[in-house]
Amino acid sequence: MTGRPDPSHEPDAPVVAPPCARPSGTGATAPPPWRRRVAALVLAAGVAVVTLTLHRAWRRPTDVHVYLGETAPQVVGLHLTYVDREGAAHVARMHWSRGAPDPVRHRVALQPGRWEAHVSATLRDGSVRHGRGAFDVPADGPVELRTGLATAPW
């Protein structure tokens, strides 16, 4: 060692490491900018896939109108069961002391797809009439169930 500075190194020029080799606070090197962009795109694509999947499976409020026709004043109880292709069921029960309105209106939260409604109406004399109807969710406007309860000679 002669004590002389290295002639290949200028003492006043700062030494700068390339961007991918700069140390961070933890001793790790920062990823190159293209990796950050790719990671952001992968994250955005993942969020989009999860959002679309959940949106398709998310229950939607569905307005249902059950038409009872001339039978409505005699109906004191209504039992509605909604069944989809996988067998999932939702149940609604309604009771009236002076007869049902026509139509009977209610709202139920159902997943998108094809649904079948099983309707059982209890009349004042204790007899029960049954009917069915099918519909798709989501629907444009309220679902109108005309189950044949009004005209069935049961």
Q: What is the pLDDT of residues 34-48, one digit of tens each?
A: 888 888 888 888 877
Q: Which two tokens stand for residue 117?
A: 């409604």
Regarding whether 134 and 65 lie in a shared domain, the answer is yes
Residue 9 lies in a domain: no
**Whether 33 and 88 share a structural domain:** no
Q: Are residues 33 and 79 in the same domain?
A: no
> Is a pLDDT exceeding 60 seen at residue 147?
yes
**In the prediction, which pLDDT does 27 show?**
57
Residue 126 lies in a domain: yes
Sign of the four-CA dihedral 13, 18, 24, 27: negative
* 135 in a structural domain: yes
Residues 90-113 have pLDDT tens digits of 899 999 999 999 899 999 888 888
**Number of domain units in the chain:** 2
What is the residue range of 67's domain? 60-146
Mean pLDDT of 64-83: 91
Same domain, 79 and 115: yes
Q: How much is the mean pLDDT over the chain?
A: 79
Go through 120-143 and write b for each residue having 16 or more CB atoms within 10 A of its CB, e for each that does not: bbbbeeeeebebebebebeeeeeb
According to the model, what pLDDT value does residue 22 have?
52
Using the 3D structure, point to which of 57, 79, 108 is the last residue of a domain. 57
Find the radius of gyration of the CA atoms of the chain. 34
- Asked if 147 and 100 touch (Cβ cutoff 8 Å), the reply is no
Same domain, 32 and 73: no
